[in-house]
Amino acid sequence: MSKKRVLSGIQPTHDSFHLGNYLGALKQWVDMQENHDAFYCVVDLHALTVETDPKLLKKRTLLSAAQLIAIGLDPNKCTLFVQSHVPAHNQLAWVFECITGFGEASRMTQFKDKSQKSGADRINVGLFTYPILQAADILLYQPDFVPVGEDQRQHVELTRDIAQRFNSKYKEIFNIPKPEIIKSLAKINDLQDPTAKMSKSASSMAGVIELLDTPEATLKKFKSSVTDNGKEIKFDEKLKPGISNLLTIHSALSGKSITDLESEFSGKGYGDFKAAVAEVVIAKLEPISKRTNELMDDPAELSRVLSNGAQKASEVASTTLKAAYSAIGLA
């Protein structure tokens, strides 16, 4: 039987990915490459919705690819590529823009949040059409699953709606993908505000654990993390969001169950527990950071990997695009 296919993407908007990206999505990417036909892309076109210095964007795109390989993606097992290297993404996006309602796109919560934060005069049209480009990213590869965190669920739902609409209006071209969201890891929270998701756009980085942080910085962030009233190390998302977030992080990286961790730390103080979580995180991140730096020392090799990836991705994408163009009557 042929392997099920997966596709996912990540934006190169910062120098480093964060622990929320890693636990919510990237860890699944690594696991899924083993027994799926996996396509993963660095979505540099999506990153243009945030104004960035061109040199910096270029560097961050390479840094993103390096981090993805450093966390365990193997370009021999998956197709790793950069979105802008495959023009079919924009070509299909336009078709989808023409079958997506204005109201439908206006209901995307990420768009509403971001536009409210920046103010209507400072946002661009790209931010509005962003989820439609994402639908093209996904549907070009006919995936069965899209591994993402909770914040992307609505975009995958929109993608499914667009695919169904196209199929019933024109021709059955698109496979309808399912989001692959691991409930316990789908929303890793900020260490300073444990009710808000860890995010690259947080106003302060004090509660955001970056994969490329130094061990000292990581330890400091955990030590100063906001915890809750009381003394017990117990999982209770409502009453103890800070401790629950730390338990989730420890459990995901150490492989120990939350119940085992609660017994292990029973009678111990918050300080001891925070130091233990930091230790587990640092043990995971230190080699990732080291490997990323090594990969960045050989940009020619990284570019070669990405160019191979783009070639493999283009083959699949152009077949789908051709079928879609033909179905809608583009001669």
Active site residues: 114, 197, 200
Determine, following the binding rule CB under 6 A, whether residue 9 of this chain makes contact with ligand TYM: yes
Distances (CA, A) of 211 to 149, 241, 293: 17, 22, 12
Q: 164, 197 in Cβ contact below 8 A?
A: no
DSSP string, 293-323: HHHHT-HHHHHHHHHHHHHHHHHHHHHHHHH
Smallest Cα–Cα separation from 155: which of 193, 111, 89?
Answer: 111
The stretch near ligand TYM (CB under 6 A) out of 6-14, 112-120, 261-269, 287-295 is 6-14
CB neighbours of 47 closer than 8 A, spacing ≥ 6?
A: 11, 12, 13, 57, 60, 61
Determine, following the binding rule CB under 6 A, whether residue 88 of this chain makes contact with ligand TYM: no
The stretch near ligand TYM (CB under 6 A) out of 183-191, 212-220, 267-275, 321-329 is 183-191
16, amino acid identity: S
Shortest approach of ligand TYM to residue 168 CB, angstroms?
Answer: 23
Degrees (nearest 5) of the Cα angle 53, 287, 213? 45
Determine, following the binding rule CB under 6 A, whether residue 80 of this chain makes contact with ligand TYM: no
Long-range contacts at 131-134 (CB < 8 A, ≥ 24 apart):
131/105, 131/155, 131/158, 131/159, 132/93, 132/96, 132/97, 132/100, 132/105, 132/158, 132/162, 133/45, 133/46, 133/89, 133/90, 133/93, 134/9, 134/43, 134/46, 134/159
Determine, following the binding rule CB under 6 A, whether residue 10 of this chain makes contact with ligand TYM: yes
Name which position in 59, 77, 197, 234 contacts ligand TYM (CB under 6 A). 197
Token reading at 30: 């690594």
Q: Judged by CB under 6 A, how many residues of this single chain contact ligand TYM?
A: 26
Q: Is 11 annotated as a binding-site member? A: yes
Q: 235, 201 in Cβ contact below 8 A?
A: no
In three-state secondary structure terms, 36 is coil
Shortest approach of ligand TYM to residue 46 CB, angstroms?
Answer: 5
Determine, following the binding rule CB under 6 A, whether residue 71 of this chain makes contact with ligand TYM: no
The stretch near ligand TYM (CB under 6 A) out of 120-128, 164-172, 193-201, 257-265 is 193-201
Q: Is 171 annotated as a binding-site member? A: no
Residue nearest to ligand TYM (CB): 24
Determine, following the binding rule CB under 6 A, whether residue 44 of this chain makes contact with ligand TYM: no
Determine, following the binding rule CB under 6 A, whether residue 137 of this chain makes contact with ligand TYM: yes
DSSP string, 66-88: HHHHHTT--TTTEEEEEGGG-TH
Token reading at 38: 């996996």
Shortest approach of ligand TYM to residue 160 CB, angstroms?
Answer: 12
CB of 129 or CB of 134, closer to ligand TYM: 134
Determine, following the binding rule CB under 6 A, whether residue 233 of this chain makes contact with ligand TYM: no
Shortest approach of ligand TYM to residue 153 CB, angstroms?
Answer: 8
Determine, following the binding rule CB under 6 A, whether residue 225 of this chain makes contact with ligand TYM: no
Shortest approach of ligand TYM to residue 266 CB, angstroms?
Answer: 28
Q: Is 106 annotated as a binding-site member? A: no
Kind plus residue range of the DSSP H or E element containing 146: strand 145-147
Shortest approach of ligand TYM to residue 269 CB, angstroms?
Answer: 27
Determine, following the binding rule CB under 6 A, whether residue 25 of this chain makes contact with ligand TYM: yes
Determine, following the binding rule CB under 6 A, whether residue 148 of this chain makes contact with ligand TYM: yes
Other C-beta atoms within 10 Å of 261: how many?
22
Q: Which residues bind ligand TYM (CB under 6 A)?
A: 7-11, 20-21, 24-25, 43, 46, 134, 137-138, 146, 148-149, 151-152, 155, 186-188, 197-199
Binding residues, by number, are 11-13, 20-21, 137, 149-151, 188, 197-201
Binding residues for L-tryptophan, by number, are 137
